[in-house]
Amino acid sequence: MYQYHTLPNGIRIIFRQNDSVVTHSGVYINIGSRDEDISRQGIAHFIEHSVFKGTSHRRSYHILNRIDGVGGELNAFTTKEETCIYASSLSIHLQRCLELFADILFHSTFPEREIEKEKEVILEEINSYKDSPADLIYDDFEEYIFGDHPLAHNILGSKRNVKRFTSDDLHAFMRDYYTTDRMVISIVGKADFKRVVHLCERYFGDYPLRASAADRSVKPVCKPFNLTVNRHTHQMHAMVGCAAPSIYDERKVAFSLLNNIVGGPAMNSRLNVAIREKYGFCYTIESQFTPFSDAGLFYIYAGIDADARQHFIELVRRELHRLADQRLSTIQLHAAKQQYVGQMAINNELSLNEMQSIGKSCLTFEHVDTLEEMQRDIEAVTAAEICTLAGDLFNDDAMSVLVYK
């Protein structure tokens, strides 16, 4: 199903063929905000914006018009551990997408005039983010629980740092960190794999193999906390969470299933039924599991009525304790597995999601599991494993609480 190739310089390629007239392609780089030191917090995100501002071959307008001009879409994002530049286009335009990716990754010039304009854009992004407590609370939660570790840092960085970044700073960071050993080209679309490899060799093959300066040897430690912050919001925002398995932890599959049972996207999640449907004092309630390379976080978020704060926290703890104290029945476990597999299948039905998913998986594991392989792993999870995980991780002493009021 998936086809792989590695260029001599270490850049990996993963491809899945389909019959769509639209192809989704992207380059994943295993560099994110956790790889920044204090003086450069926010630079990975700044680079993600600025690679579109000019290369030695193109000005900003020509970069933006290269894909958009043929009806495609060009975009990028930064996380704490990855950066991705990607495009969706008619399949006949795959070549121009790959050529453009190589141009902006290896030939960006970061013109000072364009950099100064982009600073204003990012400063406004920071301002708008601060005006959205439902988003901001996630970053604040990670900052408090990870303390002084680089994973605690906000991806956007500080206004102070953004204002003083220069073209030289961006060049230096890219030179040191955006190296071929940390790149994966991911493609889902209608193409011949031999042609895909040929195009990747043509546009990416001439750059030398270099190792990145990134150092992730310091493992983060989660420090439980209980904090209320006065942000004068109309609605109270609450988050409860704890440490969780890392992306390499053998318990990751079982915990992913457990998270889906607790507060996944389905309306029949434990939290939605026990809190939103039964009491009606929150509009949104959900849980998330975010695994990093050497740590993981589990969060429960809800926007609630101010008078319901204590009741909400008690109900959350009750539901988490139930999962630790009462094993799922055979019927409950089977239903939970069916639901989770179905959700994954629907998510990957969107080819853009699949391109991003397989790119990240190849970046992390150098291999992508098929849906059948993922289903096999999920089916192997037992009720005892779920119960043990809940007991180990969902204890009150390990739980952190952050409330905006």
Contact 54, 116 (CB under 8 A): no
Q: How far apart are CA 307 and CA 304, in angstroms?
A: 8
| Residue from 48, 114, 118, 142 carrying the catalytic annotation | 48
Contacts of 249 (CB under 8 A, 6+ apart): 255, 291, 296
Q: How far apart are CA 405 and CA 397, in angstroms?
A: 23
Contact 268, 278 (CB under 8 A): no
Alpha-carbon distance values, 188 to 18, 70, 97, 100 (Å): 7, 19, 13, 17
DSSP secondary structure string for all residues of 343-365: HHHHHHHSHHHHHHHHHHHHHHH
Beta strand pairing call for 22-29 and 83-90: antiparallel
- First-to-last CA distance in the chain? 50
Residue 25 belongs to what H/E stretch?
strand 22-29
Find the length of the chain: 405
Contact 174, 47 (CB under 8 A): yes
Contact 28, 178 (CB under 8 A): no
Residue 75 belongs to what H/E stretch?
strand 73-78
Contact 246, 34 (CB under 8 A): no
Contacts of 369 (CB under 8 A, 6+ apart): 361, 377
366 an active-site residue? Answer: no
Angle at 175 between CA 171 and CA 181, to 5 degrees: 145
Residue 61 belongs to what H/E stretch?
helix 60-68
Which among 216, 248, 215 is positioned nearest to 364, based on CA atoms? 248
Contacts of 365 (CB under 8 A, 6+ apart): none
Residue 282 belongs to what H/E stretch?
strand 282-291
Catalytically active residues are 48
